[in-house]
Amino acid sequence: MKLKSTQIYLTPAEHAALQHEADRLGSSMTAVIRGLVDRYLVAAGPATDLTDLAGTVSTAQPTDIAVDKDRLLYEDLRDDLRRHERPVRVAES
């Protein structure tokens, strides 16, 4: 990653807050600033609106994805294997 150097001036309170956050994350002050710029300026894309997709799926059995996810993924995998089953061929001797 190519980086460009810049110089900023901070108040003692801002500097202390930045140092504290870097220490807390086990990171550098530079990395914290880059993260904040990325979070608030670079990565902040357009707002996401998923509301019109709400409830577009329904299932015969109610689910609780908070606890059922692994079971549902297992069942999907099991069904996928069944869909792709091939008859076993035994070589004749």
Partner 1 sequence: MTTFADTSALYALLSRSDRSHTDAVRAAQTVRDQHETLWTIDAVVVELWRLLRGAAGHDEADRLIQALIARGLDVQPSAREDYTRAWQLAASWVDQDFALTDRLAFAAIERGRGFRAWSYDHDFAVIRLGPRRERALDLVY
**Left (φ > 0), alpha (ψ -120 to 50) or beta: where does 74 sit?**
alpha
Q: Which residues contact 65 (CB under 8 A, 6 or more apart)?
A: 72
Q: Which amino acid is at 82?
A: R
Return the number of the residue (66 or 91) whose C-beta is nearest partner 1.
Answer: 66
Report the site for partner 1 in 55-84 (rule: CB under 8 A).
55-59, 61-67, 69-70, 72-73, 75-77, 79
Q: Structure tokens of 2?
A: 């190519």
Q: 31: which residues sit within 8 A by CB, 6+ positions away?
A: 22, 25
Footprint of partner 1 on residues 5-34 (CB under 8 A)?
Answer: 24-26, 34
Among 1, 3, 11, 46, the residue binding partner 1 under the rule CB under 8 A is: 46
The least CB distance from residue 21 to partner 1, in Å, is 10
User: Of 16 and 77, which CB lies nearer to partner 1 in the complex structure?
Assistant: 77
Three-state DSSP state, 84: coil
**Contact residues for partner 1 (CB under 8 A)?**
24-26, 34-35, 38-39, 43-59, 61-67, 69-70, 72-73, 75-77, 79
